């Protein structure tokens, strides 16, 4: 996108529009979904050619396809809304109304999460999404009623793009499904036909110059059609989702990681209070009495050590599978440890990932923070993935009796 000129900025300011630079950056970053989705489809095609039923592909293959579909659908919705606003108001290209900004940002922020899931599934056969993640629902629609006309134009365009891809995927799935899975295919075909019927109906109703009353009716039907196609697209991508019970994923995200040894809890054999600390810094920190104290407080005051270890072990597994490495400065030297407990290394991602609920793009630096800072004076125990650009900082001893100074 070219930088908006001064008059475009003036017009946008008088209309109360917001600078869309961030949205255009999201749009550019999300372009990677198209080759990712194509590559995932090719992998499934290769499996089905070799005789594997689409209803029997390995879980990580199905998860990759379903998550890639979600990223594709959300990216398409965001892209079409920006395009529709540009077409409707070319004098303020680069700026959008607040309602459009919020809606598009809601789509694009979810794209990063689904890209991370898809990438992990592609590289890690043991990966699983959190329980109840799939099938997923769309982000909430804008509360503004009726939605702006460009939004409705974009919804119709996105519906058409989603339909084309879903039809192609369904066609390939039908050809590859053996007779033994004919009944399951019939159920999926029925759900897909119902979604297509809703899409056909709303497209037939659509008129760019519709009256306000008709606009509202088309809008409501378009929302339902998009929601249904979004859901059914996930089932086409990974048909086994139809057969799963909601609790079937509760076996945990460590499925398939038979050789992975979880970090030991306090009281278990092999427990090491420094297990999460930057290995290059452990020896020095052990000679610091204050560091020793806060590491012990970090464990003793943690209300849920299992949750802390689960998040840490996600980082460990990402390291083992090549998705995460210690972050380095431009001169090649390691960034070192994060200034707050557990004084873990600052890391950098080598591919899109999701750690806990935090989506991370390729090349992003992050740190693991687990701290009892301020818990005795009413502050919550900290357990989070911290992102940003990191540099050398004074060590923080995370006093439980004092408010966090870096809140």
Kindly report, residue by residue over 213-269, the tens digit of the pLDDT. Answer: 888 889 889 999 999 999 999 999 999 988 764 433 334 444 445 678 899 999 899
Helix (H) or strand (E) holding 158: helix 149-176
- pLDDT at position 141 over 50: yes
What is the chain's mean pLDDT, rounded?
86
pLDDT for res 247:
38
Q: 3-state SS string over 91-106?
A: HHCCEECHHHHHHHHH
Residue 364 scores a pLDDT above 70 = yes
* CA dist., res. 111 & res. 106, Å (int): 9
Domain boundaries, the chain: 6-251, 282-387
Distance CA 276, CA 264 (A): 11
Please state the three-class secondary structure of 207-261 as a single string.
CCCCCHHHHHHHHHHHHHHHHHHHHHHHHHHCHHHHHCCHHHHHHCCCCCCCCCC
Residue ranges of E strands in 12-124: 18-19, 95-96
Full-model pTM: 0.68
Which of 16-20, 21-25, 327-331, 396-400 comes out lowest in average pLDDT? 16-20
Please answer whether residues 354 and 360 qualify as being in contact, where contact means their C-beta atoms are separated by less than 8 angstroms: yes
Structure token pair of residue 37: 């989705």
Q: What is the DSSP letter of 328?
A: B
How much is the pLDDT for 245?
46
Q: pLDDT for 44-85, tens place per residue?
A: 778 777 788 999 889 999 999 999 999 999 999 999 999 998
Cα separation of 200 and 30, whole Å? 28
Residue 11 has pLDDT above 60, yes or no: no
Tokens of residue 400, six digits: 């439980």
What percent of the chain stands above pLDDT 70? 91
**Does the bond joining 146 to the residue before it have cis omega, within 30 degrees of 0?**
yes
pLDDT tens-place string over residues 314-353: 999 999 989 999 999 989 999 999 999 999 999 999 988 8
At 387, give phi and psi (nearest 5°).
Answer: -115, 160
Q: Render pLDDT for 267-315 as a digit per residue (tens, 0 to 9).
A: 899 999 999 999 999 999 999 999 999 999 999 999 999 989 999 999 9
- Separation in Å, CA 327 to CA 62, 361, 384: 32, 14, 18
**Residue 212: is its pLDDT beyond 90?**
no
What is the pLDDT, as a whole number, of residue 14?
A: 66
pLDDT band at 370; cut points 50, 70, 90: very high
Express the helix, strand and coil content of the chain in percent, nearest 5 each. 55, 10, 35
* Residue 1 confidence (pLDDT): 55
Side-chain half-sphere CA neighbours of 344 within 13 A: 28
Q: Which of 11-25, 217-231, 389-403 has the highest mean pLDDT?
A: 217-231
For position 357, what pLDDT does the model report?
76
Residue 86 has pLDDT above 90, yes or no: no
What count of Cα atoms within 13 Å lies in the side-chain half-sphere of residue 19?
A: 10
pLDDT of residue 193 exceeding 90: yes
SS3 402: coil
60-81: burial string, b at 16+ Cβ within 10 Å, e else: bbbbbbbbbbbbbbbbbbbbbb
On whether the CB atoms of residues 114 and 68 are closer than 8 A, the answer is: yes
């Amino acid at each position: 996108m070219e930088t908006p000129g001064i008059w475009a900025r003036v017009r946008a300011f008088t209309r109360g529009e917001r600078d869309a630079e961030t949205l255009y950056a999201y749009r550019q970053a999300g372009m990677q979904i198209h080759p990712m989705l194509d590559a995932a489809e090719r992998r499934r095609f290769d499996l089905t050619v070799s005789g594997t039923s689409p209803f029997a592909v390995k879980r990580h293959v199905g998860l990759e396809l379903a998550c890639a579909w979600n990223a594709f659908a959300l990216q398409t919705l965001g892209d079409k809304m920006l395009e529709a606003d540009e077409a409707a108001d070319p004098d303020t290209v680069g700026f959008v109304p607040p309602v459009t900004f919020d809606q598009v940002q809601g789509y694009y922020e979810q794209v990063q999460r689904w890209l991370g899931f898809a990438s992990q599934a592609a590289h890690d056969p043991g990966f699983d999404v959190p329980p109840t993640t799939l099938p997923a629902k769309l982000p909430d629609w804008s509360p503004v009623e009726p939605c702006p006309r460009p939004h409705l134009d974009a919804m119709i365009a996105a519906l058409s793009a989603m339909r084309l891809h879903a039809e192609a995927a369904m066609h390939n799935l039908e050809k590859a499904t053996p007779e033994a899975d004919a009944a399951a295919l019939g159920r999926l075909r029925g759900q897909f036909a119902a979604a297509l019927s809703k899409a056909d109906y709303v497209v037939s109703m659509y008129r760019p110059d519709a009256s306000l009353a008709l606009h509202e009716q088309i809008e409501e039907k378009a929302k339902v059609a998009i929601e249904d196609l979004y859901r059914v697209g996930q089932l086409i991508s990974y048909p086994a989702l139809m057969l799963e019970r909601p609790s079937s994923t509760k076996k945990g995200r460590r499925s398939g990681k038979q050789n992975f040894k979880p970090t030991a809890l306090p009281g278990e054999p092999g427990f090491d209070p420094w297990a999460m600390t930057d290995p290059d810094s452990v020896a020095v920190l052990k000679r610091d009495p204050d560091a020793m104290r806060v590491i012990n407080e970090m464990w003793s005051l943690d209300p849920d050590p299992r949750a802390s270890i689960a998040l840490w072990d996600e980082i460990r597994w990402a390291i083992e599978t090549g998705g995460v490495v210690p972050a380095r400065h431009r001169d090649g030297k390691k960034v070192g440890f994060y200034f707050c407990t557990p004084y873990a290394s600052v890391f950098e991602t080598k591919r899109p990932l999701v750690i806990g609920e935090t989506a991370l793009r390729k090349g992003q630096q992050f740190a693991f923070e687990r701290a009892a800072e301020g818990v005795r004076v009413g502050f919550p125990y900290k357990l989070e993935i911290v992102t940003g650009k990191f540099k050398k900082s004074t060590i923080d001893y995370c006093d439980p009796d004092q408010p966090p100074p870096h809140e």
